[in-house]
C-alpha cells in the first residue's frame, strides 16, 4: 500500500472538511501563500500548525503523522526542512495531548455513528 505524502494528506483533509486554502488560512491565522506552500510540498508545517490543522479539519493528528512524514516537519519561521525533527506525542504538552485525544475520540465516534446508521439503513432495506 502506497503511503500518502504530507501535502496530499493536507489536501485530503481540506477537501473532507470543505475548506479551500483561503478559508483554512483564515482559520489557522496564517497567510494563504503558506497553505499553498504546504499543499505543493514546498514547505512543511510546524507541529503547532499541524495541531491546528488537525482541529480545523476534524482529523486526528495521527492522520498527518506517520513514519513517512514524522521526520520532515519544517520550521515555519525559517522555511527549512529539518531532517532531525522527529515528532511524537512526547513533543506535545500534557493538556494538548488530552485535547488532541479527545478530538480524535470524538472524530472516531462520529465515524462509528455514521457506519452504524448505514448498517441500520441496509438492514431496513433488506426487511
Handedness of CA 57, 59, 65, 68 (dihedral sign): negative
**107 occurs within a structural domain:** yes
pTM of the entire predicted model: 0.53
**60 occurs within a structural domain:** yes
Domain extent, residue 120, equals 6-126
pLDDT confidence of 66, banded at 50, 70, 90? low
**34 occurs within a structural domain:** yes
Give the CATH number, domain containing residue 110.
Answer: 1.10.260.40
Mean pLDDT of 91-101: 65
Percentage of the chain with pLDDT > 90? 20
The count of structural domains within the chain is 1
**1 occurs within a structural domain:** no
Count Cβ neighbours within 10 Å for each residue of 67-78 and write b for 16 or more, e otherwise: eebeebbbebee
Distance of CA 13 to the CA centre of its chain: 6
Amino acid at each position: 500500500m502506497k503511503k500518502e505524502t504530507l501535502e496530499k494528506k493536507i489536501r485530503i483533509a481540506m477537501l473532507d472538511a470543505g475548506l479551500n486554502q483561503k478559508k483554512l488560512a483564515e482559520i489557522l491565522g496564517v497567510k494563504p501563500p503558506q497553505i499553498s506552500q504546504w499543499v505543493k510540498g514546498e514547505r512543511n508545517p510546524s507541529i503547532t500548525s499541524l495541531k491546528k490543522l488537525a482541529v480545523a479539519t476534524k482529523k486526528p493528528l495521527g492522520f498527518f503523522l506517520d513514519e513517512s512524514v514524522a521526520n520532515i516537519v519544517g520550521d515555519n519561521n525559517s522555511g527549512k526542512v529539518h531532517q532531525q525533527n522527529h515528532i511524537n506525542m512526547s513533543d506535545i504538552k500534557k493538556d494538548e495531548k488530552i485535547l488532541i485525544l479527545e478530538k480524535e475520540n470524538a472524530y472516531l465516534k462520529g465515524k462509528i455513528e455514521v457506519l452504524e446508521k448505514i448498517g441500520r439503513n441496509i438492514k431496513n432495506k433488506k426487511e
